[in-house]
């Protein structure tokens, strides 16, 4: 940690870009060299095509987890105990897979990036417009 006093910070010509604290002083933290080297190496690796390919898989999984959490209420279990909670997760996963399989186009067509959920299919069948985000429904 490096701490600068008011008398050190005030005469600095770039103080306004550096700090907005009320006392016009600045505290700067420097990570250990090993951690800084690790950060630089990881950030450089994140720019490679191989890393971006691996991350694309993860982003697909993140979408599935989001669907479980927001679309199927998986943030909270209905049952107590690990065996029953596990059973709820497995049955919900089976239901989501059935929903996705039901929405797949025939084999000769190219599949869409992500099939619509059962709720989206219901809205489409009844001619109800879908909003881009469920968060905008109440506004």
The CB density around residue 63, as the number of other CB atoms within 10 Å, is: 11
State how far the Cα of 24 lies from the Cα of 16, in Å rounded to an integer.
9
Answer whether 127's CB lies under 8 Å from 121's CB: no
Give the pLDDT of residue 64: 83
Give per-10-residue mean pLDDT for the chain (139 aa).
80 77 76 93 92 84 83 83 91 85 66 72 83 55
Look at residue 78 in the predicted model and tell me its pLDDT: 85
Q: Are 18 and 26 in contact (CB under 8 A)?
A: yes
- What's residue 93's pLDDT? 87
Query: C-alpha dihedral over 120, 121, 124, 129, to 10 degrees?
Result: -10
- Distance CA(25)–CA(49), nearest Å, equals 42
Q: Residue 2 — φ and ψ, nearest 5°?
A: -120, 125
Query: What pLDDT sits at residue 121?
Result: 83
């Amino acid at each position: 940690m490096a701490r600068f006093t008011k008398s050190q910070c005030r005469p600095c010509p770039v103080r306004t870009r550096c700090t907005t604290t009320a006392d016009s002083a600045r505290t700067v933290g420097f990570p250990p060299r090993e951690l800084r080297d690790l950060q630089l190496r990881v950030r450089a690796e994140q720019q490679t095509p191989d890393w971006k390919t691996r991350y694309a898989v993860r982003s697909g999984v993140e979408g599935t987890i989001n669907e479980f959490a927001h679309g199927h209420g998986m943030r909270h279990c209905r049952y107590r105990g690990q065996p029953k909670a596990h059973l709820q997760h497995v049955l919900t996963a089976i239901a989501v897979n059935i929903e996705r399989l039901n929405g797949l186009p025939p084999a000769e067509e190219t599949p869409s990036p992500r099939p619509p959920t059962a709720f989206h299919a219901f809205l489409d069948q009844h001619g109800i417009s879908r909003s881009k985000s469920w968060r905008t429904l109440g506004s």
